[in-house]
Structure 1
Amino acid sequence: MRYFFIPLILIFSFLSCENDKEISSIDPVNWEKRRVTIDISDSLRIGQSYLPVYSEIYSESEHLTINLTATVSLRNINPSESIYLNKAAYYDTKGNLIRTYFDYPIYIKPLETIEIVIDERDTTGGAGANFVFDWAINESLHEPFFEAVMISTIEQLGISFTTQGVTIN
């Protein structure tokens, strides 16, 4: 009888290992912890940046793709003052909004980097996905720096590359 339960336990253990993790590893609660109130009359410079991100790339033909994990870095390159991000919006190849990570001001401390991770199995962005970030900084500060690192490993093949954001407003 005991030997009957061992395979049953192994099967249930295997099934319980299914990954129920939410696509995109950043928990919205973490953004709420960074929430701040900023005064528009503080003479902040308001801007917007665009960052291309690839959740998949074509391989051999337009009918075969390789999924990628993307790490999106949001960096404050100022050594002494915080900066503010007001919105992080993720769009697909056709320009449709997939999700907004936050749409209220958050802070990034001096020289701090925070990340958004697009999981390899999340291909909703496609080969032409992108982010648009709204930000606010004191006039004397450097703009935030946005960068993405995409990576995939398949058997012995490793693919990785980076993209950098550009200011659009």
Structure 2
Amino acid sequence: MDDNLKLVILDRDGVINEDSDAFIKSESEWVPLPGAIDAMASLSKAGFTLVVATNQSGLARGLFDLDDLEAMHAKMAQLVESQGGALSAVFYCPHGPDDGCNCRKPKPGLIDAIEAEFDTSASGVPLVGDSLRDLEAGISKGCDPILVLTGKGRKTQASIEQQAPDWANKLVVCEDLAAAAHHIQTVYG
């Protein structure tokens, strides 16, 4: 088990790139949010291992294929590399909401896979997301939840305030991924 690994788990749509209710279906539709790539590169250069965990039900829905998804992820990785950083891995759930898999967030399967791949525990690892299901997947594995207010973040924040789950007191709220990266470097660096 690697106890020196400084892991950060990021959701993709709404955290790193613009989100769309019509799904992000191609490399050209994959547009990074302002400051997100710089934030990722900054974390990487500070010694953090960046991993993306993302639901991609558009695959199951036939909206795009694996080549399209890989092109989006190659673009994301290349942009981070162009800023001097590295994206270590992208884990994705290709299933639809009714497929009954264990990898679709809020279930913990993607984080289980990350733990296995990196031979580490996700407990205490910062997890950045914009939706309740992102945060719930992380919380189920002991991650430290960070909500960004980009994407669906503001709607999620209102929902959390209304529901007041028992983990809400552990939640850190940041304006965007740049603010989250600053928080992570300050607290976990």
Q: TM range, normalised to the smaller chain?
A: under 0.3
Could you tell me the TM-score, scaled by structure 1's length? Answer: 0.27
Higher relative helix content = 2
Higher relative strand content = 1
Higher relative contact order (CA 8 A, sep 6+): 1
